[in-house]
Amino acid sequence: MEYQTQHKRRPRYKGTHPRNYSEKYKELQPEKYKDTIEHVISKGGTPAGMHISICVKEIMDFLRIRPGQKGLDATLGYGGHTEAMLACLEGRGHIYGLDVDPIESEKTRKRLEGLGYGPEILTVKQMNFAHIDAIAGEAGPFDFILADLGVSSMQIDNPKRGFSYKYDGPLDLRLNPEKGITAAQRLKSISKEELEGMLAENADEPYGAEIARAVVTAVKQGKPVDTTMSLRRIIEEALSFLPAQEQKEAVKKSCARTFQALRIDVNREFEVLYEFLEKLPGALAPGGRAAILTFHSGEDRLVKQSFKEYKKAGVYEDVSKDVIRPGAEECSRNLRAKSAKLRWAIRAQE
């Protein structure tokens, strides 16, 4: 007797619209539901499992990519910028893409390969961009380099990665989930003074003392601080002294800043960026162009200072005098673009 596997219906989500990441099956299949994707984007949202690249036109205008050139996307992510750069090559030249995330980098490689960008024109490597000297020694120097320092929307929106206080999930926050310690592990042994300093330095958190005290107290009392929601509840309790009409907005902003501070710490983002900036000139060909997209003041300060010092030393022949920001139309279509700042530098001719 021949048995057939019984078809299982997809579990129905509560309400009229899907809220949980796994329920957004249309957004997670952009090739099948293009109308849904366009609808989400038109409302200023980012479809689940996708990332909308920021300042693409401004970056392309500066890089001036020509067919036959060699370039590097130091932070591959979803590959939106890389796709635009590949189009400029018109089938001639090569682009290398780096990303520490083994999950998303492989997805992106397959997606771009499906668009016709195979290994003959695109090489994807799982590598931290702090090691730009290694890739430059192997494949460089490069005519153009891009680094987008923002966390990809695919990582933020996936509750399993623990990047957002909006969804319940493990308090992880690692860009590479196969290496290092999680944010939950970091909080188990941190002191009040160290956590308060981290919140101030990495996120300019105004209620750092109150949040640090509440987190450390909870850990000492044996309360679990190992999920995104458990940390959010502690922050809510820490800010309960605020007037009722101010609490909701204050908690929202403090949660965002606290998660940012932890993410920067767990992934050593400032140290990695500093190392990248020191090695960047050596990876550029004479006259080569570099563009860096930042998303908070600490990153922007490091980039600005590095460009300024190398220009003064004659390493860069020119750098951007002011930051370039995305336009109002882009910000309305992509709310995550509002904090973006673009700076650029041009390697001196030898």
Please tell me whether residues 139 and 182 are part of one structural domain: no
Q: Do both 219 and 75 map to the same domain?
A: no
Determine the pLDDT at residue 37. Answer: 45
- Assign 266 to helix, strand or coil: helix
| pLDDT above 90 as % of the chain | 68
Sheet holding 142-148, edge to edge: 122-126, 94-99, 70-73, 142-148, 284-294, 341-347, 316-319
Q: Does a structural domain hold residue 38?
A: no
Is the peptide bond preceding residue 102 cis, with omega within 30 degrees of 0? no
Number of structural domains in the chain: 2
Per-residue pLDDT at 18 = 53
| Tokens standing for residue 134 | 């290694």
Mean pLDDT confidence for 104-126: 92
Domain boundary among 233, 265, 297: 265
d(CA 239, CA 241): 5
Rounded Cα gap, residues 339 and 29, in angstroms: 28
Q: Are residues 127 and 259 in the same domain?
A: no
The residue out of 231, 265, 299 marking a domain boundary is 265
* pLDDT reported for residue 337: 84
CA distance 289 to 143: 6
Express each pLDDT in 283-342 by its tens digit: 999 999 999 999 888 899 999 999 999 999 999 999 999 999 988 888 888 887 888 999
Question: What confidence category does residue 9 fall into, taking pLDDT thresholds of 50, 70 and 90?
Answer: low
Name the pTM for this structure.
Answer: 0.81
Q: Which domain holds residue 337?
A: 56-153+270-347
CATH number, domain of 243, equals 1.10.150.170
pLDDT reading at 2 higher than 50:
no
* Shared domain check, 88 and 75: yes
- Residue 160 counted as domain residue: no
